[in-house]
Amino acid sequence: MLCGTTMLLLLVHLARDLAAQDGMFVLLGLTELVLLAQLVVGCIALGSTDRDVDGTLFVSYLVGVTLVLPIGAFWSLAERNRAGTAVVMLAVLTVAALEVRLDGIW
């Protein structure tokens, strides 16, 4: 849901040829907090599950999905134009794809 909302905001920014703005970074920060909570809850759930889950793969995806948005945001701050906004959009798409893969691993 947050990825979808962020994608809509980014598409508007790209269509208007705008660089990344503060409102977008607030939304990215909120999404990152949710991803950090998912990392903690996912590790706890992995320890208490009876499912046949590859723990190393699952935790590496949890950590990876948590790192994607900060990397994209810092890259966007270094590239203060439309390309920076596209980088953040690619990071959000990557998070959405990794979330689907996490669900498949679980």
Q: How far, in Å, CA of 104 to CA of 90, rounded?
A: 21
The reported pLDDT for the residue numbered 38 is 94
pLDDT of 98: 93
Output the pLDDT for position 71: 94
Q: Output the pLDDT for position 52.
A: 84
Full residue range of the structural domain in which residue 96 is found: 2-105
Q: Which residues of the chain have pLDDT under 70?
A: 1, 20
The number of domains in the chain is: 1
Determine the pLDDT at residue 80: 77
What pLDDT was estimated at residue 41? Answer: 94
Q: Is the pTM of this model over 0.75?
A: yes
